[in-house]
Amino acid sequence: MPSSIIDPQNPDMPASRKIAAFLRSARVAHLATADREGRPHVIPICFAFDGEGLYSPIDEKPKKRLPLLLKRIKNIRENPHVSVVVDRYDDDWRRLAYVLITGRAKVLVKGQRHQRTVLLLRRKYPQYRHMAIQDRPMIQIKPTRVKSWGNL
């Protein structure tokens, strides 16, 4: 089970560097969760990558429910197994690529990792500089399997 997308035994390995660069440059991903009965739920997310995992905030964009009652949060609490796909489409199909991450998710509501992630997200997305994401739940995804395809 990888604890990091960057191989700690060989951090200069081209595949690891390419995957990390691809993840850091991507603006959107798709998070797949499932409830305890296996019913899937897929949504687009904004995220940050810190070299070991992905983090997605429950931000202030309009939602129909309170943050901790959202389907993705309920699903993660019932079933922490998730998948995330980060992809690039291009009409030039030689440029198609994706990274598929399978892992375990949990909800962070405070702590040092939550605080560090807020900084990463605010660096990546200027919109978050004006949102109180420091006071909101954050989804942490620790990869157990990473697969890539295409021209990263």
Quick: pLDDT tens for 115-150: 999 999 999 999 999 999 999 999 999 999 999 999
- Residue 16: predicted pLDDT: 84
Identify the architecture of domain 14-150 in CATH: Roll (2.30)
Query: Would you state the structure tokens that stand for residue 76, as one six-digit string?
Result: 């993660």
- d(CA 43, CA 18) in angstroms, rounded, equals 25
Average pLDDT, integer, range 17-25: 92
- Residue 68: predicted pLDDT: 74
- Contact status, residue 137 vs residue 58, Cβ threshold 8 Å: yes
- Contact status, residue 97 vs residue 149, Cβ threshold 8 Å: yes
| Coil vs helix vs strand at 18 | helix
Q: Which of 66-70, 77-81, 103-107, 133-137 is least confident?
A: 66-70
pLDDT per residue as tens digits for the range 49-62: 999 999 999 977 65
Asked if the model's pLDDT at residue 1 lies above 70, the reply is: no
**C-alpha R_g of the chain:** 15
Greater pLDDT, 42 or 4: 42
- Residue 55: predicted pLDDT: 97
- Residue 3: predicted pLDDT: 45
- Statement: the pTM of the whole predicted model exceeds 0.75: yes
Q: Estimate to the nearest angstrom the gap between the alpha carbon of 121 and the chain centroid.
A: 11
Banded model confidence at residue 69, pLDDT cuts 50, 70, 90: confident
**Domain range summary for the chain, segments of one domain joined by +:** 14-150
Average pLDDT, integer, range 8-20: 68
For residue 127, the 8-state DSSP code is: G
Contacts 24+ apart (CB under 8 A), 111-114: 113/140, 114/138
